[in-house]
Structure formats: structure tokens, C-alpha cells
A and B are shown apart, each in its own frame.
Chain A
Amino acid sequence: QSALTQPASVSGSPGQSITISCTGTSNDVGGYNFVSWYQQHPGKAPKLMICDVSNRPSGVSNRFSGSKSGNTASLTISGLQAEDEADYYCSSFTSSSTYVFGTGTRVTVL
């Protein structure tokens, strides 16, 4: 159950687009369309932003989008805003019928 690999940090200017990658294996990300993305602001509980690879829950801005290719999932934030500055985590169901989170990415708005 190794954590999924994410870049430690990603930054962008307001209005720009950024993409966060999440790399796993064929036993998790590559094998199932059960990849989710979570946003966490300091001192707060995580918030679901994307489920099932690319679906946005009700209330989540359409600036957030998800995709997957092979063993790597991606979260794209377009039109970057100051409020998007937070930590982001991916998660996937695994072949062991467990879940695994990514290592986390700190997004900084310059």
C-alpha cells in the first residue's frame, strides 16, 4: 500500500491553469475509475473536489476538472484564484479492496 505519487508543490499566477499529477500502478489508479481528489485548507477537513476520475460533486466550481491516462490521474485547476491555495490529495481504490491517498501537493497562488 504505497502512497500515490504527487508533486510536492505546484504554483501559478491568478487566472492561469495548473495541473497536478497522481501516479500509481495498475493495481490502483490504472485499474479502476475510482480516483478522487480532495482539497484541504489549513486546519480544515478535506473537501471532495472530483470523484470517479472526472466527476464534479454538486457545488464544486467547474474550474476543477479531472482525467486519467494509464496509471496517472490528473487534476486541473483553470482560472486560478487566491482561494484555490491549499493542499490537494488524490485517492484511489485498490486491488486489495482498500484505498490509498497520494502524497499531497501544496498549491501556491503567486
Chain B
Amino acid sequence: EVQLVESGGGLVQPGRSLRLSCATSGFRIDDYAMHWVRQAPGKGLEWVSGISWNSGTIGYADSVKGRFTISRDNAKNSLYLQMNSLRAEDTALYYCAKEWSGMDVWGQGTTVTVSS
């Protein structure tokens, strides 16, 4: 079964850092691009970042550029999101998603709350 499991969320103060992880199983992660998508409470979906299969192409939303870094370790079947200089507006449920003609598999998400 293809599965994505996010972890690493929590309560963090503004300006601090957090690292999210996405553990994958049931497929070869190195065959696919991967993404992080977030959803603030009661709001819509927002694409955060994406990374190609070999990390050769990486993109970020303007709202996180310069603060967040996406990476992957294909040998560990894992995707990561390093989040620095966190702001209150980064509070959201963060999903990782696998891309195959659209984001075809999603995890259940990990919640990040930025508050003092």
C-alpha cells in the first residue's frame, strides 16, 4: 500500500525553527517528484514547495522563499521541510504529496502552530 506519513509538527514560538519529515512506503520515492502543501485553519490549500525526483529542480511559494528548505533522501524514502524564521501565518496543517500527473497520494498531515 502506498503511504505517506508526516511528522515533526508542533507548537513553536515566532522566529524559531522546525523540521518536518514525510516517511514514504509502498513505492519507489526516487521515481517521483514530491511536494509540501499546507492548509491554515478554516482556509484553502496552499502549495508550499516541490522537489524533483533527483533534487535537480526545486520550487517555493513566494510566502516561504528564503525561509523554508525542501530536501529528500531517496535512500531513506523520506522528504523533509526545514522551516526557519517561523511566523504566525505559517500556522497550518502541512501535507506531503506524491506527484504523478497531479498530486495523487497525500499524507494525513502534521500540524504546525506558531505562537508565543
Q: Residues of A with Cβ closer than 8 Å to B?
A: 1, 3, 36, 38, 40, 45-48, 50-52, 55, 57, 87, 89, 91, 96-104
Contact = CB atoms under 8 A, between A and B. Distances in A.
Interface residues of B, number: 22
Interface stretch (B7-15, B22-30, B44-52, B80-88): B44-52
B108 A51 contact: no
B109 A45 contact: yes
24 contacts: A1-B62, A3-B44, A36-B101, A36-B103, A40-B45, A45-B106, A46-B37, A46-B103, A46-B106, A48-B102, A48-B104, A52-B101, A55-B101, A57-B102, A57-B104, A91-B47, A96-B59, A97-B59, A98-B60, A98-B61, A99-B35, A99-B47, A101-B44, A101-B45
A46 B60 CA distance: 20
Interface string B48-70: 00100000010111110000000
Nearest to A2: B62
Contacts, number: 63
A98 B108 CA distance: 22
Given A104-B44, A104-B45, A51 B104 contact: yes
Contacts of B109: 45
Nearest to B50: A99
A45 B60 CA distance: 21
Contacts of A52: 101-102
